[in-house]
Structure 1
Amino acid sequence: MVAPTVSAEINEWEAKDQLRVKRKKVGEEDLLNVFLIVVATNDQAVNKFVKQHIKNDQLVNMASSFSDGNIQIPAQFSRGRLSLAISTDGASPLLTKRIKEDLSSNYDESYTQYTQFLYECRVLIHRLNVSKSRKHELLTEIINDQYRLSLVKQREFLQQIEKYK
């Protein structure tokens, strides 16, 4: 990352070695041999500079002007094995943010454990010596919310699966 100043959150990421920060204004040398460039500044001079110095083989996301870049980065969040990405294709980042917040509250933290349960069940069910239709029935049964909301129901289902072995 290249920036004269950064937020507290980015300072934390740097402290955790999650990214490196060059604290300076962006220069042409910073754009060489870089595959992905994200320009997230409200400094029009920086935006113009980057736009003038990018190469055809670089992926560029211009946060302030989606049409000046050649890629868009969707908003995303995860709950365990559930990953959701949202985009309005540059039409409205504010709507994207609102939809992400809505989905994030609908798909709460309970999905973290639940998707792990679903994964483990899927692996076990596919190993069973039963018909494809019975496997489908079992997989369909566990996408009912009662399994997401109850660890007891999950354990009971796993015990039911054991009977097929």
Structure 2
Amino acid sequence: MAEYYPLALDLATKEVLVVGGGAVAERKVQSLLDAEAEVTIISPGLTSKLKRQAEEGLISYEDRVYQSSDIDGKFLVIGATDDSEVNEQIAKDALACNLLVNVVDQPELSNFNVPAVIREGSLCLSISTDGKSPALSGRIRRELEEEFGPEYGEFLDLMGRLRSEVISKVDDIQERRSIFKELAYSEAIEYIKSEDYQKVEKLLDSILPEDINLKEVANEG
């Protein structure tokens, strides 16, 4: 079997179909909503959370069994039922239309898998075993969660604001790269974790060009 090619999808406003209404579908739907996808669920029943989301208009819901025409106009399809025949039909229909399809826990029916994910602000770490051991992906995710805390998200928010300032004030590309690398390898994250913001400011002053006003950058956040 060929190796999977890792990528990140922009699903904002994309039409996504989820077939199934249980706990697994609930988890999938939440991650899709976080990505601002337009989610439609087809299922004879829903968890209480999914019912609430449907009532609030966060998702579209049809209380019935899957039909092949349900994939029409969809960008991505997820099969999350406990019926192997239905899952196989979902995969067959989606693949025939060259759609992205994932059947939960059945990589042989899917043309992509969903990795275990850690998110801290703009930091996103993905762990995949090519569908061979989701349990191991989960274990590694839990281990990494202990190492990568909210300080990484805070650091990236700061870097996002500083990046545009550096680009606008430093013309030399190599100098820019040097600044960004020095920031990334600095102790800024450790200082943020310990909430020692005076050290953060002092460190930034030592790395950044003099004409970058740190107070203005901080106020942007």
TM-score range, shorter chain: 0.7 to 0.9
d(CA) in 2 for partners of 1:52, 1:130: 53
* Residue number in structure 2 paired with 1:44: 84
Tell which deviates more after alignment, 1-10 or 12-21: 12-21
* Helix, strand or coil at the partner of 1:78: strand
Give 1:90 shift: 0.8
* Residue number in structure 1 paired with 2:178: 136
d(CA) in 2 for partners of 1:16, 1:101: 32
Tell which deviates more after alignment, 111-120 or 142-151: 142-151
Give 1:137 shift: 4.9
The one of 105, 115, 130 aligned to 2:146: 105
Matched, 1:32 2:32: no
Give 1:40 shift: 1.3
Do the aligned partners of residues 148 and 48 (structure 1) sit closer, same or farther apart at CA in structure 2, a change above 3 Å counting?
A: same
d(CA) in 2 for partners of 1:30, 1:121: 46
One-letter amino acid matched to 2:192: R
Matched, 1:85 2:129: no
d(CA) in 1 for partners of 2:89, 2:104: 14
Asked if 2 retains the 8 angstrom alpha-carbon contact of 1:26 and 1:46, the reply is yes
Give 1:79 shift: 1.3
Which portions of structure 1, spanning 4 or more consecutive aligned residues, are displaced by more than 6 angstroms? Answer: none
Give 1:69 shift: 1.4
Asked if 2 retains the 8 angstrom alpha-carbon contact of 1:2 and 1:25, the reply is yes
Asked if 2 retains the 8 angstrom alpha-carbon contact of 1:125 and 1:161, the reply is no
Asked if 2 retains the 8 angstrom alpha-carbon contact of 1:126 and 1:135, the reply is no
Q: Residues 138-160 of structure 1, C-alpha deviation per residue, up to 9 Å, x if partnerless?
A: 74145424333232222334555
* Helix, strand or coil at the partner of 1:61: strand
One-letter amino acid matched to 2:54: E
Asked if 1 retains the 8 angstrom alpha-carbon contact of 2:127 and 2:140, the reply is yes
Asked if 2 retains the 8 angstrom alpha-carbon contact of 1:76 and 1:86, the reply is yes
Tell which deviates more after alignment, 138-147 or 88-97: 138-147
Give 1:42 shift: 1.9
Q: Residues 49-102 of structure 1, C-alpha deviation per residue, up to 9 Å, x if partnerless?
A: 323433242221111310111122222232122122221111111111222222
Do the aligned partners of residues 25 and 130 (structure 1) sit closer, same or farther apart at CA in structure 2, a change above 3 Å counting?
A: closer
d(CA) in 2 for partners of 1:59, 1:138: 36
* Helix, strand or coil at the partner of 1:21: strand
TM-align CA RMSD: 2.8
The one of 139, 152, 155 aligned to 2:201: 155
Q: Radius of gyration: which is bigger?
A: 1
TM-score, with structure 2 as normaliser = 0.62
d(CA) in 2 for partners of 1:16, 1:97: 31
* Residue number in structure 2 paired with 1:53: 93
Query: What count of residue pairs does the alignment treat as equivalent?
Result: 165
* Helix, strand or coil at the partner of 2:178: helix
5+ unaligned residues in a row in structure 1: which ranges? none
Q: Give aligned-pair identity as a percent.
A: 22
